């Protein structure tokens, strides 16, 4: 039971972090019709910024944290302006591949900076911050995971308020419904595109901090964990924010349960799932769900015309 | 009529493999020079050329499913990997940790292509149900599942970090590893491999050309352009999508088998996401949907890094003075080329070549 609770907690926390990346995907996809494969790279770039300011330059953690997040947002904005604006109206596949090119560029620069030694994020509260944990009834709860869970929930709440209430939120929803109609209503669609990439960048940087914080550290393979938001988006449906959150939770829980129970399952049924099966399990779930519902759990089915 | 080769009087003539004598002429010139190169080039360049030929076979495969039939496939590298290890199992030597049956090249080469195609057919029910970006994402999942299998099926692949040795190079029971003597001509292993690759590349290249102008090829193009309209015209979507995936995987498998033999071995970690993306980049840089495009793309992709390395080595800069290592420079240029080609020349190198050719055809007039 303790193991179960432990796994559930870790899974929920992981899922909440993935959902930040996943929401970024969905935002970009809905507003601009671009599937951004560069999003995982933005996650690690965000973590890289924070780590660089906090540990290498030595700025106080909170300033470094905010600076890193805003810089990642600006990077998203710049990417949209320079690389994606000329591609408006091109086939979806071409644009998706273009974002793969951006992803390669970002990661080369980052890998070069990371080098061989893992990079640490800074720590706001040296006595019990990122590295600490507390124990409730035998369950180890890391402070980082609690913070991740809480901050992700707050961010999701703030975002949903933003979409419902603010002027730009409404403009974004209008743009995602129909770009031309939004343009005709006087919405500056170009600015909305930029804003969407900016927000996606902010979310990516938040996720980056939580994915690489504490003992996880930023390495050349942190990218793989960030990429796991992709199956989450697909499970939930490419164009649904609710779907993105639920898909992320499914992925996070799967990963945690598989991580904790793989050995038991293997010995009970006498099979061998192999090392690192918890990394593949989310993709298997994605396979199964797409077989049953090709548009994901919450995705809208396209009405197609010839 | 006979002295006006550019005037087409029938559809059959226009869609033939070489519609005019100029193309036939250049094809023969290229083929002869390709054979001639084998006796002049040093081992370094010979291996590079072999590699380029093989990569273009794999790229043709991806071009069939993505460029021609319009189905996004981000997992082509996995099928190349399946072909690679299928060849190693059938043609390789068994050791304590891996299995191997030491078959003949004439057996393992087509079989490894067929096994890759079989896997393609097996997963095609999933692929056929989806289209567009969802399909791309599912194939992305396949990359990770494939890597998992590769690194865990130790008896086939030798395990991650170790890998295994390639298949034996023997044809009709003659062992070619130490070279072959024909009369007073002695061919080394590299030269033999180059010839095999050239032969297979020419055969499969003509295969692609034939496919494009066949009924199946036209069906693929119809599916790419508008799948619902294609279905309304009586094209069986399920069948043709599966067929395109199977042919594509066959090309990938054959290329993988020969690539492994050229390099002597393969490590499961090779077939990761970047490896699959490489093929997409080759097809895009070369020109999607064309026959010559992947060929251009592959030679560019293989020879360009070699050029960079030569420049870096001859520039007398030490490792510390360079900001990026040669591999990183390679990847930066790679990423940049994907972006720049997509924005400025979506038809790729083939598009540039096409415009150049037309310019010189009409030279000195502009049109």
Q: Which of A194, A289, A273 is nearest to A238 (CA)?
A: A289
Q: Which of B6-10, B88-92, B323-327 has the lowest mean pLDDT?
A: B323-327
Counting residues of chain A whose pLDDT is more than 90, the rounded percentage is 21
Please confirm whether the linkage preceding B364 is cis (ω < 30° from 0). yes
- DSSP secondary structure string, B45-103? HHHHHHHHHHHHHHHHHHIIIIIIS----S-HHHHHHHHHHHHHHHHSPP-SSS-----
Confidence band for B56, pLDDT divided at 50, 70 and 90: very high
**At residue B121, does pLDDT exceed 80?**
yes
Cα separation of B150 and B144, whole Å? 10
Cα A236 → chain centroid: 14
Specify the 3-state DSSP secondary structure of B322: coil
pLDDT digits (tens, 9 = 90+) for B159-201: 777 778 887 787 877 777 777 777 777 788 888 889 999 999 9
Cα separation of A230 and A25, whole Å? 8
Q: Which of A119-128, A264-273, B323-332 has the lowest mean pLDDT?
A: A119-128
What count of other Cβ atoms lies within 10 Å of the Cβ of residue B302?
Answer: 20
DSSP B204: H
For chains A and B, count residue pairs whose Cβ atoms are closer than 8 Å: 122
Counting residues of chain A whose pLDDT is more than 70, the rounded percentage is 95
Phi, psi (rounded to 5 degrees) for A133: -155, 160
Interchain proximity A101–B336, CB inside 8 Å: yes
**At residue B78, does pLDDT exceed 90?**
yes
pLDDT score of B318: 62
Cα separation of B262 and B154, whole Å? 22
C-beta separation of B157 from A293 below 8 A:
no
Confidence band for B322, pLDDT divided at 50, 70 and 90: low
Q: What integer best gives the mean pLDDT of chain A?
A: 85
Q: Which of A40-54, A138-152, B82-96, B332-346 has the lowest mean pLDDT?
A: A138-152
Interchain proximity B284–A291, CB inside 8 Å: no
pLDDT score of A286: 87
- Please compute the mean of the pLDDT values over residues B287-299 and round it to a whole number: 90
Residue with the two structure tokens 């890597």: B147
**What is the sign, positive or negative, of the torsion defined by CA atoms of B239, B244, B248, B254?**
positive
Out of B134, B274, B335, name the one closest to residue A290 (CB): B134
Interchain proximity B328–A112, CB inside 8 Å: yes
pLDDT score of B317: 65
Q: Which of B268, B339, B341, B344 is best to mutate for the A interface (most A CBs within 10 A)?
A: B339
**At residue A304, does pLDDT exceed 70?**
no
Q: Which of A34, A36, A38, A97 is best to mutate for the B interface (most B CBs within 10 A)?
A: A97
**At residue B81, does pLDDT exceed 90?**
yes
C-beta separation of B191 from B35 below 8 A:
no
Q: Which of A7-11, A269-273, B8-12 has the lowest mean pLDDT?
A: A269-273
What count of other Cβ atoms lies within 10 Å of the Cβ of residue B305?
Answer: 18
pLDDT score of A180: 87
Counting residues of chain B whose pLDDT is more than 70, the rounded percentage is 96
pLDDT score of A131: 64
C-beta separation of A41 from B335 below 8 A:
no
- Please compute the mean of the pLDDT values over residues B318-328 and round it to a whole number: 69
Using alpha carbons, list the distances in angstroms from residue B125 to A293, B236, B246. Answer: 14, 14, 12
- CB within 8 A of B93, min separation 6: which ones? B100, B102, B165, B168
Using alpha carbons, list the distances in angstroms from residue B69 to A44, A154, B113, B216. Answer: 35, 45, 20, 10
Confidence band for B205, pLDDT divided at 50, 70 and 90: very high
Confidence band for A41, pLDDT divided at 50, 70 and 90: very high
Interchain proximity A105–B152, CB inside 8 Å: no
Using alpha carbons, list the distances in angstroms from residue B23 to A35, A266, B28, B56, B357. Answer: 41, 61, 9, 20, 12
**At residue B152, does pLDDT exceed 70?**
yes
Cα separation of A202 and A209, whole Å? 11
Using alpha carbons, list the distances in angstroms from residue B59 to A135, B76, B89, B239, B267. Answer: 54, 9, 24, 22, 21
Confidence band for B306, pLDDT divided at 50, 70 and 90: confident
Using alpha carbons, list the distances in angstroms from residue B302 to B205, B278, B279, B307. Answer: 18, 11, 12, 9
Confidence band for A298, pLDDT divided at 50, 70 and 90: confident
Higher pLDDT pick, B120 / A277 = B120
Each residue of B175-188: b (16+ CB within 10 Å) or e?
ebeeebeeeeeebe
Whether ipTM tops 0.85, in short, is no
**At residue A203, does pLDDT exceed 60?**
yes
Higher pLDDT pick, B62 / A55 = B62
Specify the 3-state DSSP secondary structure of B174: strand
**Domain limits of chain A?**
2-222
- Please compute the mean of the pLDDT values over residues B245-271 and round it to a whole number: 91
Cα B109 → chain centroid: 15
Q: Is A265 left (phi over 0), alpha (psi -120 to 50) or beta?
A: alpha
Phi, psi (rounded to 5 degrees) for A65: -60, -50
What count of other Cβ atoms lies within 10 Å of the Cβ of residue B238?
Answer: 12
**At residue A306, does pLDDT exceed 70?**
no
Out of B126, B136, B226, name the one closest to residue A287 (CB): B126
pLDDT score of B118: 95
Beta-bridged to residue A142, according to DSSP, are: A133
Q: Which of A108, A16, A94 is nearest to B334 (CA)?
A: A108
**At residue A2, does pLDDT exceed 70?**
yes
Confidence band for B7, pLDDT divided at 50, 70 and 90: confident
Q: Is B136 on the interface with A (CB under 8 A)?
A: yes
pLDDT score of A43: 93
* B contacts of A98 (beta carbons < 8 Å): 338-339, 342-343
Using alpha carbons, list the distances in angstroms from residue B262 to A135, A144, A194. Answer: 56, 49, 48
Q: Which of A5-14, A153-162, A215-224, A249-258 has the lowest mean pLDDT?
A: A215-224
- CB within 8 A of B232, min separation 6: which ones? A306
**At residue A129, does pLDDT exceed 60?**
no
Q: Which of A17, A59, A113, A92 is nearest to B136 (CA)?
A: A92
pLDDT digits (tens, 9 = 90+) for A237-294: 888 888 899 999 999 999 889 888 888 888 887 777 777 787 788 888 888 888 788 7
* A contacts of B126 (beta carbons < 8 Å): 287, 290-291
Cα separation of A128 and A115, whole Å? 28
Q: Which of B80, B114, B77 is nearest to B260 (CA)?
A: B80
Interchain proximity A274–B148, CB inside 8 Å: yes
pLDDT score of A126: 62
DSSP B325: -
Using alpha carbons, list the distances in angstroms from residue B224 to A247, A298, B15, B65, B332. Answer: 30, 27, 20, 9, 31
- DSSP secondary structure string, chain A? -HHHHHHHHHHHHHHHHHHHHHHHHHHHHHHH----TTHHHHHHHHHHHHHIIIIII---HHHHHHHHHHHHHHHHHHHIIIIIGGGTTS-HHHHHHHHHHHHHHHHHHHHHHH-SSPBPP--SSTTTSTT-EEEETTEEEEHHHHHHHHHHHHHHHHHHHHHHHSHHHHHHHHHHH-HHHHHHTT--HHHHHHHHHHHHHHHHHHHHHHHHTTTT-B-TTHHHHHHTHHHHHHHH-TT-HHHHHHHHHHHHHHHHHHHHHHHHHHHHHT----TTHHHHHHHHHHHHHHHH-TT-SSPPPPP---
Specify the 3-state DSSP secondary structure of B171: strand
pLDDT score of B296: 92
């Amino acid at each position: 039971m303790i193991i179960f609770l432990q796994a559930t907690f870790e899974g929920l926390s992981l899922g909440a972090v993935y959902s930040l990346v996943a929401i970024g995907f969905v935002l970009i996809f809905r507003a601009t019709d671009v599937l951004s494969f560069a999003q995982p790279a933005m996650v690690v770039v965000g973590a890289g910024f924070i780590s660089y300011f906090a540990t290498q330059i030595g700025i106080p953690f909170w300033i470094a944290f905010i600076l890193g997040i805003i810089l990642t947002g600006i990077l998203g904005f710049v990417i949209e302006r320079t690389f994606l604006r000329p591609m408006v109206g091109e086939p979806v596949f071409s644009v998706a591949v273009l974002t793969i090119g951006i992803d390669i560029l970002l990661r080369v620069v980052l890998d070069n900076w990371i080098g061989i030694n893992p990079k640490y994020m800074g720590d706001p509260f040296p006595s019990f911050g990122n590295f600490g944990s507390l124990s409730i009834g035998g369950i180890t709860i890391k402070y980082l995971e609690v913070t991740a869970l809480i901050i992700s929930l707050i961010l999701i709440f703030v975002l949903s308020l933003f979409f419902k209430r603010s002027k730009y939120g409404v403009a974004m929803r209008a743009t995602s419904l129909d770009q031309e109609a939004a343009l005709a209503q006087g919405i500056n669609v170009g600015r909305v595109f930029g804003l969407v990439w900016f927000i996606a960048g902010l979310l990516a940087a938040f996720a980056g901090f939580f994915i690489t914080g504490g003992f996880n550290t930023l390495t050349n393979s942190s990218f793989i964990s960030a990429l796991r938001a992709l199956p989450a988006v697909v499970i939930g449906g490419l164009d649904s924010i609710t779907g993105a959150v639920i898909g992320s939770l499914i992925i996070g829980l799967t990963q945690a349960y598989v991580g904790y129970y793989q050995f038991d399952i293997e010995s009970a049924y006498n099979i061998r799932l192999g090392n690192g099966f918890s990394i593949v399990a989310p993709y298997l779930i994605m396979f199964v769900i797409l077989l049953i519902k090709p548009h994901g759990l919450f995705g809208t089915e396209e009405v197609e015309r010839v | 009529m006979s002295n006006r080769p550019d005037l087409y009087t029938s559809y059959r003539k226009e869609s033939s493999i070489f519609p005019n004598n100029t193309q036939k002429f250049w094809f023969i010139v290229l083929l002869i020079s390709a054979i001639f190169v084998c006796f002049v080039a040093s081992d370094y360049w010979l291996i590079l050329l072999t590699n380029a030929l093989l990569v273009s076979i794999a790229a043709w495969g991806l071009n069939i499913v993505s460029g021609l039939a319009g189905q996004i496939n981000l997992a082509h590298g996995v099928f190349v990997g399946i072909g690679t290890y299928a060849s190693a199992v059938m043609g390789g030597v068994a050791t304590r940790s891996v299995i191997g049956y030491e078959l003949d090249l004439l057996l393992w080469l087509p079989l490894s292509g067929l096994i890759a195609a079989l896997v393609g057919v097996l997963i095609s029910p999933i692929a056929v149900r989806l289209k567009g970006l969802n399909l791309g994402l599912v194939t992305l999942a396949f990359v990770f599942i494939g890597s998992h299998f590769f690194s865990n099926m130790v008896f086939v692949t030798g395990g991650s970090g170790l890998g295994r040795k390639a298949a034996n190079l023997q044809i009709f029971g003659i062992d070619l590893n130490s070279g072959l003597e024909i009369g007073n001509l002695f061919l080394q292993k590299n030269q033999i491999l180059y010839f095999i690759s050239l032969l297979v590349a020419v055969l499969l290249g003509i295969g692609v050309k034939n496919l494009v102008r066949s009924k199946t090829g036209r069906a693929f193009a119809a599916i790419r352009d508008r799948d619902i309209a294609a279905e309304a015209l009586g094209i069986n979507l399920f069948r043709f999508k599966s067929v395109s995936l199977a042919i594509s995987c066959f090309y990938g498998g054959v290329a993988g088998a020969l690539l492994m033999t050229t390099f002597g071995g393969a490590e499961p970690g090779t077939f990761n996401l970047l490896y699959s993306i490489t093929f997409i980049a080759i097809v895009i840089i070369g020109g999607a949907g064309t026959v010559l495009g992947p060929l251009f793309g592959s030679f560019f992709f293989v020879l360009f890094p070699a050029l960079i390395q030569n420049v870096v080595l001859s520039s007398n800069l030490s490792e510390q003075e360079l900001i990026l290592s040669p591999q990183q420079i390679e990847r930066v240029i790679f990423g940049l080329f994907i972006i720049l080609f997509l924005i400025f020349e979506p038809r790729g190198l083939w598009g540039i070549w096409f415009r150049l050719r037309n310019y010189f055809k009409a030279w000195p007039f502009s049109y």
